[in-house]
Amino acid sequence: MKFRNLVSVVGLLLAAGGCIPKKSAATGEQQAAAAPTDVSGLVAHNLLKNSTFEDGTSLPWMTSFSAPASGEAMVQNGAYCLRIDGAGTNPWDAQVRHREMVIQKGHSYTVSFKAWADKPTKVRPKVGQSGPPYSEYWSENLELSTAPQQFTGTFTMYEPDDGTAELAFHMGGGMVTGGTPLTVCIDDVILADPQFTPTPGQQEAPPPDVLVNQVGYLPGLQKLATVKDASTAPLTWEVLDAEGKPVASGQSSVFGQDAPSGDHVHVVDFSSLTQPGKGYTLKVGDKVSYPFDVGEDVYQQMKYDALWYFYHNRSGTPIAMPYAGEQQWARPAGHLSDSKVACAPNTGCSYTLDVSGGWYDAGDHGKYVVNGGISTWTLLNWHERTKHLGTSAADYADGKLRIPENKNGVPDLLDEARWNVEFLLKMQVPDGQPKAGMAHHKIHDESWTALGMAPHESKMTRYLRPPSTAATLNLAAVGAQCARIWKAIDAKFSARCLTAAEKAWQAAKANPNVLAPASDSQGGGPYDDKDVSDDFYWAAAELFTTTGKGEYKDFVLKSPSHAKIVTHTGEGANSMNWANTAALGKITLAVVPNQLGGDQVKLLRGQIQSAGDAYVKLIDENGYRVPMKGDAEGKYPWGSNSFVLNNLLVLGLSHDFGKDPKYLNAMQAGMSYLLGRNPLGQSYVTGYGERPLENPHHRFWSKQANSKYPEAPPGVISGGPNSSIQDPYAKAAGLKGCAPQKCFVDHIEAWSVNEITINWNAPFAWVTGYLDEKAAVKTPAVTGTKPGGQKAAKK
């Protein structure tokens, strides 16, 4: 990373004024000082949202360490301090920064702050771009002492407006003159624009203590709410209609202390309310929930919005009206250069591939075979499940989705999935090359790009990363799935898929342990996987289902993965994710007609139902009725909401196989957690609920970072609570030590808790589709939880 100063700057020489009495960061002693420079007139025009740190918080200030630099930020004695344990090589390897502001062309700015350290050192403040090419509008190298000093400087902006600017203090590398550990502190920080006057911020009201599904409940299924209350005796509740009239009432069940949330809670079961209506509320004492609906249509549009995500994240094609929905979401084609991409330097190959198309994986612009594999499989599995076990195939027919292909005579769901199947096929190593038939693991930018960037605006060089066995088996599995689905639709495409799949299988057998390294994380996620035995099982199952060949059948039956469906209890009680794919093969064999034999299919369906039973049991063990649990320490993993969704998918299949209403009730309970019946009162879906997700981590849907870009469209689900809180914003938000279900903040910078991905929206589309299909089902009895007393109100 090399910084360039492209802007004419006025007043680069900062005045080291007097310092005010301040406790030393190192000793806590009072420092004698002269009177400070008067900056009182600047305060009214300050762009920064936190300048004094007097309330003990640092947001939206964040830290950034580039390995091997390390340390920790803290607010102490009313100042923001960075303890630097390892300085790294470059000044920016250890830094604090403030974003969420606009630097405007032609405006003049004043920078003012106090700074000191526990030993003499240097610091480099700068105002400039937060992402490549990191142009700077103002910067200076400053000497710090142990006594607070006030610094002031000015500059005029001559570049175009920058809606993603940052004020950063670089403290690493050569800035460190006295060795580490070192603590540097700043306070009373101002970045003033005389033409700017901040508007008073509105304090967001906290969510109510009565937590419900903010979107609504299906009439014939169980309806649960969770209430935060310390009482150890049941509470009286009533459901009010939109006019405030009671329509149902009863007593809560005391659940008690709930470990994943840290709350003492009650559970309210108001399943007696079956009358469709809008604007219901649940009242418990003087506590009232957000409004919610009861109706068969609550998931009708949501299922389409969940699928719409994939069109919006297509690479290599314009996102155009009318399919974009609104002009703000339309954009030119992104990354047309993907039509000719070279292998990354020093990776042992010299060819280029056309890897255009496909879906962008997540908040960045990378495209990954292993994540694309499970995502594509999930959409195609939904197609096969509706065909063989369901009743809603017509809902996904030609003309149903907002995509350009919706008048081509092919089901729109398949058109969308094909967009990524084509990309996966392009990632295969050509004949005559080393590792021919394998699949490249991923393709992405050479370095991480910044927020506030449409795909077509990115100029970063992109590279193919080396092949991996996991990616190759993903290609084999999805290629085989493609071959059988398109056989009667497009025979030529079907044959192409099968050829690629079988070639990939043979290449994987010849290269069974080529693993993507965890270190390959520059510019894209590593998606490293140390065990690919599950991927072999999945690929063999898909190939056998498609071809009936004995080779694949023998592999399936001999694989240890065939013996049971793994729930990965140590990783959040989850049946499947991109790194654990054995369940995908089992589901295919259990759903799609094949030559495995009736007893074996019955065995697999029983395994899936056993997993479903485990998830129903988890609901009883959770105060917020979620089919999920943490690891051995109770911690929630990255993307915990996707764990919930994949478990709901298994519950749906369990209901298909056994027809027990407990599975369907459990699905509604789990979806209610995602739509607001959680300890934060947060709907994790954009555009849905009274407190919807608003600021997911995404380069283009980045209005929070830069107002010239759009907000996210409806139907996008966040990864949700993550106990590890790896990103600087979530750390600065005070989430350290959070209860697992509370390790979340809805902010675009909070990438470890609020990113969005194709492999999270795919099961979201599957589950909402399933619930909508079952909207008219009436369960004969309440099962799967401990119901509280309830009765219908007299009319």
Q: So which residues are the catalytic ones?
A: 364, 697, 746, 755
| Tokens coding 720 | 């949700």
Q: How many C-beta atoms surround the C-beta of residue 174 within 10 A?
A: 14
Label residues 453-471 b or e (16+ Cβ within 10 Å = b). Answer: bbbeebebebbbbbbbbbb
Rounded to an integer, what distance in angstroms lies between the CA atom of residue 125 and that of residue 92?
A: 10
Contact 646, 628 (CB under 8 A): no
Continuous H helices in 313-411? 369-388
Under 8 Å between Cβ of 715 and 306:
yes
Q: Which residues contact 764 (CB under 8 A, 6 or more apart)?
A: 306, 645, 685, 715, 717
Listed residue (241, 207, 239) closest to 224, CA to CA? 239
CB atoms within 10 A of CB 178: 12
Q: Which residues contact 599 (CB under 8 A, 6 or more apart)?
A: none
The three-state DSSP-derived secondary structure of 589-640 is HHHCCCCCCHHHHHHHHHHHHHHHHHHHHHHHCCCCCCCCCCCCCCCCCCCH
> Please, what's the b/e burial string for 297-321 (b: 16 or more CB within 10 A of its CB; e: otherwise)?
ebbebbbbbbbbbbbbbbbbeebee
Separation between Cα atoms, residue 628 and residue 611, nearest integer Å? 12
Q: 286 burial class (0-12, 13-18, 19+ CB within 10 angstroms)?
A: exposed
Q: What is the CB neighbour count within 10 angstroms for residue 136?
A: 18
Taking the C-alpha atoms of residue 370 and residue 353, their distance in angstroms, rounded to an integer, is 18
How many Å apart are CA 738 and CA 530, to the nearest integer? 30
Q: Is the dihedral of CA 404, 410, 413, 414 positive or negative?
A: negative
Q: How far is Cα 87 from Cα 252, in angstroms, rounded to an integer?
A: 56
Residue 41's contacts (CB-CB under 8 Å, 6 or more residues apart) are: none
Q: DSSP letter for 93, please.
A: G
| Structure tokens given for 709 | 């870009």
Q: Which residues pair with 166 in a beta bridge?
A: 128
3-state DSSP: the chain helix, strand, coil percent, rounded to 5? 30, 20, 50
Distance in angstroms (rounded) separating the CA atoms of residues 694 and 616: 31
Give the burial string for 40-61 (b: 16+ CB within 10 Å, else e).
eebeebbbbebbebeeeebbbb
**Tokens, residue 676:** 């607001």
Q: Which of 341, 343, 347, 722 is nearest to 517 (CA)?
A: 347
Q: How far apart, in whole angstroms, are the C-alpha atoms of residue 185 and residue 117?
A: 6
417 DSSP 8-state letter: H
In this structure, how many other beta carbons lie within 10 angstroms of the beta carbon of residue 663? 25
- Residue 452 main-chain phi, psi, to 5 deg: 75, 60
